[in-house]
A = this chain, B = another copy of it.
Amino acid sequence: MKFEVTILGSSSATPIFNRNPTAQALNVNERLYLIDCGEGTQQQMLRFDVKASRIDHIFISHLHGDHYLGLIGLLSSLNLNGRTKALYLFCPPQLKDIIELNFQYSESHINYPIEYVFTDPSAPAVLLDNQDVIVESIPLSHRIACTGFIFKEKKRLRKLIKEKVEQLNIPVEYYSKLKKGENYTDLKGKTYYNQELTTDSDRPRSYAYCSDTIYNESYFEQIAGTDMLYHEATFLHNMLNRAKETFHTTALQAGEVAQKVNAQKLIIGHFSARYKTLNELLDEARTAFPETDLAIEGKTFGI
């Protein structure tokens, strides 16, 4: 099953040429989940061939502009392009007021339902549970209410051992039961245990998205063992004081988070505009966690 994330924006609030504020498109089994939507996200989607029409779920971490100011334009464009199916929006409750005020004053009639699911940073909560993923909010510690998100792949059905199943002439109608773990008893009354007929499906993967937050161990347990951790790394560690003041994380700290939660891989992003090149941030994070990559815009990471 496809499970990969495409970086659409990698910068923090102050604009910098050729880097865009935060946005990511997560592809889970060919359905797109948009995570944050900074200004210019639509242009980035056009640039990297991410089809807006394939998005049914949008997750907004918090109401700093670099994480949501591209949303009104995107919602309007979906409408102009004839969308009628519902769009699910996971966000702080105040975003609904902002969206409705914009649409009221622009006299826009949105021809598809927007279904809001409000986030609450006081405790982790399951926000979405569909056939492919469970999504939980991750309470983060930022200047304003902010949640990350962890996307946990659903455990897939067991896989048939094709040769065995065919050799025993098991009727096709029975396959779905086998995949669910049932044993099989043939016409002569002989029982075959499920383990002989199927193999376990792959271990479900997870993707944890943590932006923006001060270094804070409170959410480590929730993201323990994640396959891929995206973590903000706004500053180099020589700006730790500035990071603390602004409730952000340094590259070194992001590496330490990945190491402590035993992640398989780390992607760092949300870079301050003061860093024209990003190698120093990467090198610093790798001192704590070698399996680190940069959130380069347009890059897709398989999870």
Measured CB to CB, the residues of A under 8 A from B are 13-17, 20-21, 39-40, 42-43, 46-47, 63-66, 69-70, 72-73, 76-77, 80-81, 92, 94-95, 97-98, 101-102, 105-107, 143-144
Contact yes or no, B102 A65, CB < 8 A: yes
- The answer to whether A144 and B98 touch (CB under 8 A), given A16-B46, A72-B65, is no
Indicate whether A107 sits within 8 Å of B46 (C-beta atoms), given known contacts A13-B76, A102-B65: no
Report the bound CA distance from A70 to B42 in whole Å: 13
- Structural contact, B16 and A80, CB atoms closer than 8 A: no
Choose among B63, B70, B73, B97 the residue that contacts A106 (Cβ–Cβ < 8 A): B63
A94–B69 alpha-carbon span in the complex (Å): 18
In the bound complex, do residue A15 and residue B43 qualify as a contact, i.e. CB atoms below 8 Å apart?
yes
Q: List 16 A-B contacts (CB under 8 A).
A: A13-B76, A13-B77, A15-B73, A17-B43, A20-B43, A21-B73, A39-B39, A39-B69, A39-B73, A65-B73, A65-B106, A69-B73, A92-B105, A97-B101, A98-B102, A106-B144
Q: Are B73 and A72 in contact (CB under 8 A)?
A: no
- Point out the residues of chain B lying under 8 angstroms from A73, CB to CB: 15, 21, 39, 65-66, 69
The 9 closest A-B pairs by CB, nearest first: A17-B46, A94-B105, A15-B42, A40-B40, A63-B105, A39-B73, A63-B106, A69-B73, A107-B144
What residues of B have a CB within 8 angstroms of the CB of A40 in the complex?
39-40, 43
Specify which chain B residues have a CB less than 8 angstroms from the CB of A13 in the assembled complex. Answer: 76-77, 80
When distances are taken between beta carbons in the complex, the residues of chain B under 8 Å from A15 are 42-43, 46, 73, 77
C-alpha gap A98/B144 in the complex (Å):
19
Closest B residue to A92 by CB, please name it: B105
Nearest CB in chain B: distance from A73 CB, A: 5
Give complex CA distance A98, B47 in Å. Answer: 29
Give A134 to B116 CA distance when docked, in angstroms: 46
